[in-house]
Chains A and B, each alone.
Chain A
Amino acid sequence: DAKTTQPPSMDCAEGRAANLPCNHSTISGNEYVYWYRQIHSQGPQYIIHGLKNNETNEMASLIITEDRKSSTLILPHATLRDTAVYYCIALAGQGGKLIFGQGTELSVKP
């Protein structure tokens, strides 16, 4: 199972783009990169996932490097409600068993 590495914390100004990096240098070819976030001890919430192509949805964009060793989650216009812990996860095999690291605590400031 690929291990992911994220910075423990980041700050972002409200209205600006938040770029959250993730390293997953040991990711295997069939492992997807998933992003979840957890707001203040609530249940984690799915954001986006991808395999090798860049992905975009209504919440965020996911940029995966060509060698798949790292990725960046982009929140294009961060709001105060985006303050949360963001988890980057390499999906473990076919079992759907999410392996959470410690994530990045994003603070969006006015």
Chain B
Amino acid sequence: DADVTQTPRNRITKTGKRIMLECSQTKGHDRMYWYRQDPGLGLRLIYYSFDVKDINKGEISDGYSVSRQAQAKFSLSLESAIPNQTALYFCATSDPPGQINNEQFFGPGTRLTVL
């Protein structure tokens, strides 16, 4: 079974709808991240969380919100979706710095299309 899972994998929605993307991990990591990727570009950080009570804005947080329901779950919401939020969304996890390897582990991605 995958260590980092994302649901749904694909979603088509309409402008103005509320959408929630979910991420779950079985790695036992404290840190979780949400990124988006537009065609031909690298990933950009939306929000990140260092533990259950910690939420931080990333590079492009406008139009998004997050919820860290438990150590293993981190959800991304689009309160009122707009077409330029059409993108590939990735969740990732990592251990805190100070561990031997601060590697991030990525989920398979959610492809979101807003019409």
A residues neighboring B (CB under 8 Å): 32, 36, 41-46, 49, 87, 91, 94-103
* Contact residues in A for B50 (Cβ distance below 8 Å): 95
Chain A contact residues: helix, strand, loop or mixed: loop
B residues neighboring A (CB under 8 Å): 4, 31, 33, 35, 37, 40-45, 48, 50, 58-59, 88, 90, 92, 94, 96-97, 101-109
Q: Are B43 and A44 in contact (CB under 8 A)?
A: yes
* Contact residues in B for A102 (Cβ distance below 8 Å): 40-42
A-B pairs with lowest CB-CB distance, top 8 = A43-B106, A100-B42, A46-B103, A100-B43, A94-B97, A44-B106, A96-B102, A96-B94
Residue of A nearest to B103 (CB): A46
* Contact residues in A for B101 (Cβ distance below 8 Å): 46, 49
CB distance from A68 to the nearest CB of B (A): 18
Bound-complex Cα distance A41 to B109 (A): 8
Bound-complex Cα distance A105 to B88 (A): 18
CB distance from B38 to the nearest CB of A (A): 11
Q: Are B41 and A98 in contact (CB under 8 A)?
A: no
* Contact residues in B for A96 (Cβ distance below 8 Å): 31, 94, 96-97, 102, 104
Bound-complex Cα distance A42 to B111 (A): 11
